[in-house]
Structure 1
Amino acid sequence: MPRRLSGGAGDFARRGGQLRVSLTPRCQLGCWFCHNEGEIPPRITHHDRAVQPRRRALDVGDFLSPINAMTAAGIRRVFFTGGEPLLSPLARPILQGLPPHQMDDYTTTLITNGLTLTKDLDWLAATALDRIKVSLHYFSDASIAAIAEGKPGDIAKIKAGIEAAVGVIPIVELNLLLQEQNAHEVMDIIAYARELGIGLQIIELVDTDHNAGLGGVKVASGDISACLRSIATAENVVTSGTGQGRRVFTVSGRGGPMTIEVIDAALGRHHVGQCSTCPEKERCIEGFWALRLDSAGTLSPCLLRPDLRLDVTPHTADPAALLAAVSAHLDAFTEGTLP
């Protein structure tokens, strides 16, 4: 178990305690809404192979060293993302290299589209992953094609992977981006989550330069919340911390009570100093939400501002130097003094 660091550069817990690790910008699908966490979305590269994301600058050790340093310094949640993270040749050695840990110290989550989950599940089950979250934005092959611009998908294969993971991975969850293309299937996905007894998070659209005007009008979550309210035994509204507010519904599911979260922009947004003069503030619905470490070797505290990235490649082999550089960058971001 990594040594717990405290004070100074190690004070990450007070900032929200979340690290998103993007193992690759590549994905089999080309979903219209994808912002790829500030990288070139797969949809754009699929249309024009001349437009490519940044080249990978990190190797296995370059990923694991910052992850271990920042969890020791107070990061409480680590998410492995992409693109589709399981497409990365580094996914297996990185996830197998995670040290054993207690979920009271921090948690590790893989976010995947589920297309290769049945193939990868055996080795994933032997890692220190605490959770797999499958992005289930569709419940039919027709909806996959509508959302992913005709890219082939296989909902039966995705569902088989989800169902195989239940009982093998400690926690399995779903997330769903609410949009016009899947509005007719949302209740089916809710019923599916309840049938399996696994948590579900429903998310409102984040408008970015990459998806504006592509997928129709934004769908608010109010009607979904009203439906959930009619079947819930409890509703808890959470507006503290960073990012958007959310409604947490307790409903009955297989095996007992389970939760369905609805991210609701109407509950308010949480911003920091850098946001006060940011030209993107009016359309931003997150504020300071998560640190994002990407395969190109940069770390960013903001979804919509790639110009605020910090190059961490000089520090990946020196945990103390890495923590000092990242902490100074975050202090400046929080105070609004980054260029």
Structure 2
Amino acid sequence: MLLDDRYGRVATDLRVSLTDRCSLRCSYCMPPEGLPWLPKDEILTDAEVIRLVGIATGLLGVTEVRYTGGEPLLRPGLVEIVRQTPVHTSLTTNAIGLSRLAVPLAEAGLARVNVSLDTLDRDRFVALAHRDRLADTLAGIEAAAAAGLTPVKLNTVLMRGVNEDEAPALLQFALDHGYELRFIEQMPLDAQHGWSRDNMVTATEILESLSGFGLTPDLSTVRGSAPAETWLVGGGPARVGVIASVTRPFCGDCDRTRLTADGQVRNCLFARGESDLRTPMRAGASDAELAALWRTAMWGKLPGHGIDNPAFLQPDRPMSSIGG
């Protein structure tokens, strides 16, 4: 069985949110005071996560798993969950605490990490994340590289009037340290529902701001379902990516399925509905029955996220609750 849909797409990449909690309060994700967290009894246990990941990889053709949050490093059982994941495994994190966990995670089988880094300025970091943790993030990034969790990919969201002037500095930082930087267009997934297309820094603007780096299209790889378009820096081999989910959507090639921390399948990051696996699992459903429910959820996937549609409605869940 495969996780196919009515438009010929097959989901082979599973994103699993392990918690909705986070150690930062980034303004494009949640308010400074945080959010009402999911009740503990609604969160999947480690054994339940491992079982559902096993169903996805063993019965449904998933070949890659990425653990996300919130902040997945806050999950006490993370190392063992990674150890029990039988396919290529990665992590999206803010890297706070990664200096302590990078080696255990690498030994457990983690392949690489994606780290959110929106600024190199301490004061600006505090203004954006409402926490004075830039040094911890940078230490975590260094530890990941030292532990072999490579390529270390840095994810940056540029915001107009906030940090868009830092694009060249961030790229130079990545080049100097051997990291791979990817700029991401800000998406309508903030808890405050304050996203505005007019305030979003677009892919075109991002590339214009990097004109001094001599970027040329990266023709060495086929993009396929990868979210980032990549450019060679100064002829290569260093690269920089841009994920233009809003202005250059790649929905037609999407290969993702998502599992929230409370056991809900989301067939799209922007889906308005979810399919519950936790309740039937706790009621005694078999692996085959859960796989069938998962396939049904994916069959209902829409052809695109519809952000450009005047009728578009932002998901009720923010990014921290959905998982990156």
Same topology, TM > 0.5: yes
1:154 aligns with 2:133: yes
What are structure 2's unaligned runs of at least 5 residues? 305-324
For normalisation by structure 1, the TM-score amounts to: 0.75
* Alpha-carbon separation, structure 2, partners of 1:332 and 1:157: 41
Q: Spell out, residue by residue over 1:14-64, the C-alpha distance to the aligned partner (whole angstroms, 9 max, x if none).
A: 424221110000011111111xxxxxx4x37x257xx33354331112111
Q: 1:32·1:211 contact (CA, 8 Å) conserved in 2?
A: no
Q: Spell out, residue by residue over 1:156-209, the C-alpha distance to the aligned partner (whole angstroms, 9 max, x if none).
A: 222122122214234111111111322122221111111111211110011246
2:207 is matched with: 225
1:260 is matched with: 240
2:52 is matched with: 66
Matched ranges for 1:182-261 at <5 A: 182-208=163-189, 210-213=191-194, 217-228=199-210, 230-232=212-214, 234-236=216-218, 246-251=228-233, 257-261=237-241
1:310 is matched with: 275
Q: 2:79·2:108 contact (CA, 8 Å) conserved in 1?
A: no
Larger RCO: 1 or 2 (CA < 8 Å, sep 6+): 2
* Alpha-carbon separation, structure 1, partners of 2:190 and 2:106: 37
* Alpha-carbon separation, structure 2, partners of 1:133 and 1:192: 16
1:135 is matched with: 116
1:178 is matched with: 158
1:329 is matched with: 297
* Structure 1 counterpart of 2:131, one-letter code: P
Query: How big is the shift at 1:224?
Result: 2.4
2:22 is matched with: 27
Matched ranges for 1:284-303 at <5 A: 290-303=256-269
Distance 1:147 1:333, change over 3 A: same
* Alpha-carbon separation, structure 2, partners of 1:178 and 1:142: 16
* Alpha-carbon separation, structure 2, partners of 1:194 and 1:200: 8
Query: How big is the shift at 1:269?
Result: 2.8
* Alpha-carbon separation, structure 1, partners of 2:34 and 2:46: 30
* Alpha-carbon separation, structure 2, partners of 1:266 and 1:21: 22
Correspondence for 2:74 among 83, 87, 92:
87
Query: How big is the shift at 1:247?
Result: 2.8
* Alpha-carbon separation, structure 1, partners of 2:166 and 2:142: 19
* Alpha-carbon separation, structure 2, partners of 1:208 and 1:133: 19
Query: How big is the shift at 1:214?
Result: 6.8
* Alpha-carbon separation, structure 1, partners of 2:83 and 2:19: 17
- SS of the aligned residue for 1:257 comes to coil
* Alpha-carbon separation, structure 2, partners of 1:60 and 1:191: 39
Query: How big is the shift at 1:89?
Result: 1.9
- SS of the aligned residue for 1:234 comes to strand
Mean CA deviation greater in 293-302 or 313-322: 313-322
1:117 aligns with 2:98: yes
Distance 1:19 1:87, change over 3 A: same
* Structure 2 counterpart of 1:157, one-letter code: D
* Alpha-carbon separation, structure 2, partners of 1:15 and 1:121: 32
What are structure 1's unaligned runs of at least 5 residues? 1-7, 35-40, 102-106, 273-286
2:37 is matched with: 52
Distance 1:209 1:265, change over 3 A: closer
* Percent of residue pairs identical: 28
**Over aligned residue pairs, what C-alpha RMSD do you find?**
3.2
* Alpha-carbon separation, structure 2, partners of 1:117 and 1:303: 26
- SS of the aligned residue for 2:79 comes to helix
Q: 1:23·1:90 contact (CA, 8 Å) conserved in 2?
A: no
* Alpha-carbon separation, structure 1, partners of 2:192 and 2:79: 31
Q: 1:204·1:219 contact (CA, 8 Å) conserved in 2?
A: yes
Q: 2:267·2:298 contact (CA, 8 Å) conserved in 1?
A: yes
* Alpha-carbon separation, structure 2, partners of 1:239 and 1:28: 36
- SS of the aligned residue for 1:157 comes to helix
